[in-house]
């Protein structure tokens, strides 16, 4: 069967998948669930109790009353699936629909003002996911938002950036893999969506399926330099592998953009092959979710237990800087995000 034929068969098979539009069959494990009324109540009631907590600058997961409430309040199925993900045995991507959205979102143009004036539903949801995954919330000092939770929202003065504060599409990337201690999972919660702006996902296994063993072995050598992206202070990780083992986990430090460099000629060929593999995987295996208010997506950041697993993510479509009054959306697209690190050695 030709490459093209195999892609179209996959498209048919996947049109059955609800809620997530897929263009090809994938080795990536994707699961979609609805937020149960128990989980809904957990988020709203914890948000009420912690309304005045500074989720951005203080480590909520070290507050025992918060952790206890999360463990007492969330449903068993939610606890189990997130614990499995944290242990590397759950899905690579979890989509949670119908979560409670903060009420009375301020339409103020200023993002800081909007954040100040909202209830804490999305902050509680993100922090609770982290607790239930057995992880830590990670800050990245070189980011323009070094807090425990970040805003993905366009800012007028950075609109030309491909970043969380920019309006341009985002090429596929694993998050913050230019730091040694990169996040294991990313969680996004949507507060305001925008039609035709899609969060895209492509599985690392699907990309690597286009590479031969010699290239993969070359990518395992610690001969590469990986550079930071738009929206970060310039930073780089040197003498690292692209497919990098830590304990029994594998971290994939992959960017679609030119951020992986080496002076080794064979390494340069391996990076070029990797780019071709991303192009091929994009034509066959990309899935996407057009986030709506109250939808969360949690995914493994190119990390897997004993296997190069998880996904790269990106964004297609240009974000509108102006509030879009025509589509009943009176505000710009706005997500909140948390980077979650699971302590590998414990597994």
Ligand X SMILES: O=C(O)CCC(=O)C(=O)O
- Which of 86, 135, 164, 183 is the binder for ligand X (CB under 6 A)? 164
Closest to ligand X by CB, 69 or 341: 341
- Which of 23, 35, 131, 152 is the binder for ligand X (CB under 6 A)? 152
Closest to ligand X by CB, 91 or 317: 317
List strands edge to edge, sheet with 260-261: 236-240, 224-227, 260-261
Closest to ligand X by CB, 244 or 313: 313
Closest to Fe ion by CB, 215 or 295: 295
Residue nearest ligand X by beta-carbon distance: 199
292: tokens are 């709506």
Strands 30-34 and 303-305 come out as unpaired
- Which of 199, 252, 262, 336 is the binder for ligand X (CB under 6 A)? 199
Instruction: Name the one range near Fe ion by CB under 5 A: 4-12, 87-95, 97-105, 174-182.
Output: 174-182
Residues 6 or more apart whose CB falls under 8 angstroms from that of 188 comprise: 152, 199, 291, 296, 297, 298, 335, 336, 337
**Which residues in 168-197 contact ligand X (CB under 6 A)?**
170, 175, 186, 188
Binding mask 296-325 for Fe ion (x = CB under 5 A): ------------------------------
134: tokens are 């057995």
**Of Fe ion, ligand X, none, which one does residue 337 interact with (CB within 5 to 8 Å by kind)?**
ligand X
Closest to ligand X by CB, 186 or 237: 186
Q: CA 109 to CA 112: how far, in whole Å?
A: 9
**Of Fe ion, ligand X, none, which one does residue 199 interact with (CB within 5 to 8 Å by kind)?**
ligand X
Q: Any idea which residue has 């263009």 for tokens? A: 23
Q: How far is CA 205 from CA 57, 168, 286, 289, in A?
A: 36, 27, 12, 20
Closest to ligand X by CB, 139 or 337: 337
Instruction: Name the one range near Fe ion by CB under 5 A: 78-86, 149-157, 175-183, 299-307.
Output: 175-183
Contact call for residue 317 and ligand X (CB under 6 A): no
Closest approach of Cβ 95 to ligand X, in Å? Answer: 13
Contact call for residue 175 and Fe ion (CB under 5 A): yes
**Of ligand X, Fe ion, none, which one does residue 201 interact with (CB within 5 to 8 Å by kind)?**
none
Closest approach of Cβ 188 to ligand X, in Å? Answer: 6
Residue nearest Fe ion by beta-carbon distance: 175
User: In 10 A of CB 310, how many CB atoms?
Assistant: 28
DSSP H/E element including 282: helix 265-284
- Which of 114, 282, 313, 341 is the binder for ligand X (CB under 6 A)? 313
Q: How far is CA 95 from CA 50, 82, 185, 186, 188, in A?
A: 25, 11, 13, 12, 10
Reference 101, options 125, 81, 77; nearest CA is 125
Closest approach of Cβ 27 to ligand X, in Å? Answer: 22
Closest approach of Cβ 75 to Fe ion, in Å? Answer: 29
Q: CA 63 to CA 65: how far, in whole Å?
A: 6
Q: State the DSSP string of 114-165.
A: HHHHS-SHHHHHHHHHHHHTT-EE---TTBS--SSSEEE---GGGTTSSSTT
Q: Using CB under 6 A, list all residues that contact ligand X.
A: 152, 164, 170, 175, 186, 188, 199, 313, 315, 335, 337
């Amino acid at each position: 069967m030709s490459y093209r034929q195999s892609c179209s068969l996959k498209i048919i098979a996947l049109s059955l998948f609800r809620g997530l539009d897929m263009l090809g069959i994938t080795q990536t494990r994707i699961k979609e669930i609805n937020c149960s009324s128990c989980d809904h109540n957990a988020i709203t009631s914890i948000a009420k109790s912690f309304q005045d907590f500074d989720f951005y600058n203080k480590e909520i997961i070290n507050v025992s009353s918060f952790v206890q409430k999360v463990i007492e309040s969330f449903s068993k199925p939610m606890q189990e699936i997130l614990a499995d993900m944290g242990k590397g045995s759950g899905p690579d991507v979890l989509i949670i629909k119908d979560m409670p959205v903060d009420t009375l979102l301020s339409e103020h143009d200023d993002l800081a003002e909007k954040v100040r004036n909202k209830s804490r539903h999305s902050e509680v949801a993100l922090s609770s996911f982290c607790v239930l995954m057995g992880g830590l919330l990670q800050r990245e000092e070189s980011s323009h938002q070094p807090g425990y939770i970040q805003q993905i929202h366009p800012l007028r003065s950075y609109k030309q950036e491909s970043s969380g504060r920019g309006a341009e599409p985002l090429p596929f990337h694993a998050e913050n893999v230019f730091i040694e201690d990169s996040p294991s999972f990313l969680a996004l919660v949507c507060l305001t969506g925008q039609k035709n702006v899609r969060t895209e996902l492509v599985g690392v296994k699907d990309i690597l399926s286009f590479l031969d063993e010699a290239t993969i072995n070359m990518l395992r050598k610690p001969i590469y330099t990986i550079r930071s992206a738009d929206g970060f202070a310039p930073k780089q990780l040197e003498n690292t592998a692209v497919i990098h083992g830590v304990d029994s986990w594998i971290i994939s430090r992959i960017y679609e953009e030119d951020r992986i460099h080496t002076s080794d000629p064979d390494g340069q060929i391996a990076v070029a092959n990797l780019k071709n593999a991303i192009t091929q995987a994009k034509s066959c295996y990309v899935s996407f979710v057009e986030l709506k208010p109250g939808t969360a997506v949690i995914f493994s950041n190119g990390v897997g237990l004993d296997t190069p697993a998880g996904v790269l993510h990106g964004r297609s479509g240009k974000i509108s800087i102006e509030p879009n009054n025509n589509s009943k959306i009176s505000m710009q697209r706005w997500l909140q995000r948390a980077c979650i690190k699971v302590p590998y050695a414990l597994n």
